């Protein structure tokens, strides 16, 4: 089974995507954001960009901490729902993180919960990093939260059944080339559906290469949402903290 071009456009705008992931651990996510901002210790006057913001729940948590935040997402449906949360200091915009319309506007750019590595062409990964860097002010901070590929690959192939009310999602995770592929199958009202997710097997060294090309310096690595130190063989996450260096 090969990579499916633009899989994310169809899946992320699907109502079934939101049904499947409605039980994501929001408490864990809120705790992570709180830990992260305590670590970063940035003034409340600084501007935050939340890339791949989804429906805006995490941007809302950031805003509650006292920051002005702009959320950007490729899914039109996500942005429509996020815009219902808008208030002074928190706005949302439809956009592609590969081509952001910002130049040195933000003090902090966040790309959280494995919202990277979707594209087949490696050049698009670099383009995304470049775009994030351009959006940052000099000495601004970029945070990318990614899965830790090493322990993830040890668990593959993997199959599981997820129940959401009367619906059952059959999920199979496999390795397809340079991607971890998640194949999602289910039925609704007698009709069968198939969707796919692809996340690239990116490790720390590859991120460092992309950072260097974009003018970013890696400052720190964390391995989970409580900000424990990163351990390549065991940490569930790869959380990278980088800074935009002067030209």
Domain-wise residue ranges, the chain:
7-148+203-244, 152-197
* Closest to 164 in 3D by CA, of 191, 192, 186, 182: 186
* Closest to 9 in 3D by CA, of 96, 85, 111, 126: 96
DSSP conformational letter for 83: G
Distance in angstroms (rounded) separating the CA atoms of residues 45 and 171: 43
CA distances from 214 to 74, 75, 145, 165 (A): 22, 26, 18, 45
Two structure tokens written together for 32: 């992570």
Beta pairing, strands 90-94 & 68-73 = parallel
Residue 161, pLDDT score? 96
Residue 172's Cβ-side half-sphere holds a number of Cα atoms within 13 Å equal to 9
pLDDT digits (tens, 9 = 90+) for 134-177: 999 999 999 999 999 999 999 999 999 999 988 999 999 999 99
pLDDT band at 232 (very low <50, low <70, confident <90, very high): very high
pLDDT digits (tens, 9 = 90+) for 162-219: 999 889 999 999 999 999 999 999 999 999 999 999 999 999 999 999 999 999 999 9
pLDDT band at 25 (very low <50, low <70, confident <90, very high): low
Helices (H), the chain: 7-12, 15-20, 26-40, 57-64, 76-82, 122-135, 149-154, 204-214
Two structure tokens written together for 218: 């890696």
108 vs 28, more confident:
108
DSSP conformational letter for 245: P
**Residue 14 burial (CB < 10 Å; 0-12/13-18/19+)?**
middle
Q: Which residues contact 101 (CB under 8 A, 6 or more apart)?
A: 95
Residue 4, pLDDT score? 74
Does the CA dihedral 20-6-236-57 come out positive or negative?
negative
Q: Which CATH number fits domain 7-148+203-244: 3.40.640.10, 3.10.450.50, 3.40.50.150, 3.40.50.1000?
A: 3.40.50.150
DSSP conformational letter for 120: S
pLDDT band at 88 (very low <50, low <70, confident <90, very high): very high
pTM above 0.85, yes or no: yes
Distance in angstroms (rounded) separating the CA atoms of residues 179 and 201: 6
Residue 193 β-bridge partners: 186
- Whether the pLDDT of residue 247 is over 90: the answer is no
Two structure tokens written together for 14: 């699907």
């Amino acid at each position: 089974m090969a990579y499916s071009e633009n899989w994310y456009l169809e899946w992320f705008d699907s109502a079934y995507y939101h049904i499947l992931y409605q039980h994501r651990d929001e408490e864990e996510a809120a705790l992570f954001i709180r830990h992260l901002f305590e670590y970063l210790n940035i003034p409340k006057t600084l501007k935050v960009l939340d890339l791949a913001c989804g429906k805006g729940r995490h941007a809302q948590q950031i805003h509650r901490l006292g920051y002005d935040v702009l959320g950007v997402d490729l899914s039109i449906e996500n942005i429509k729902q996020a815009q219902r949360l808008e208030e002074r200091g928190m706005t949302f915009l439809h956009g592609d993180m590969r081509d952001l319309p910002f130049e040195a506007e933000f003090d902090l750019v966040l790309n959280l919960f494995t919202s990277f590595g979707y594209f087949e062409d490696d050049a698009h990964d670099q383009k995304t990093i470049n775009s994030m860097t351009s959006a940052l002010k000099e000495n601004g901070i970029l945070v990318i939260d990614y899965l830790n590929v090493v322990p993830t690959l040890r668990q593959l192939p993997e199959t599981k059944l997820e129940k959401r009310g009367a619906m059952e999602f059959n999920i199979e995770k496999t390795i397809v080339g340079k991607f971890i592929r998640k194949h999602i199958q289910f039925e609704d009202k007698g009709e069968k559906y198939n969707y796919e997710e692809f996340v690239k097997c990116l490790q720390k060294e590859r991120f460092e290469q992309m950072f260097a090309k974009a003018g970013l310096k890696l400052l720190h690595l964390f391995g989970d949402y409580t900000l424990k130190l990163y351990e390549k063989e065991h940490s569930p996450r790869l959380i990278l903290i980088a800074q935009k260096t002067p030209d």
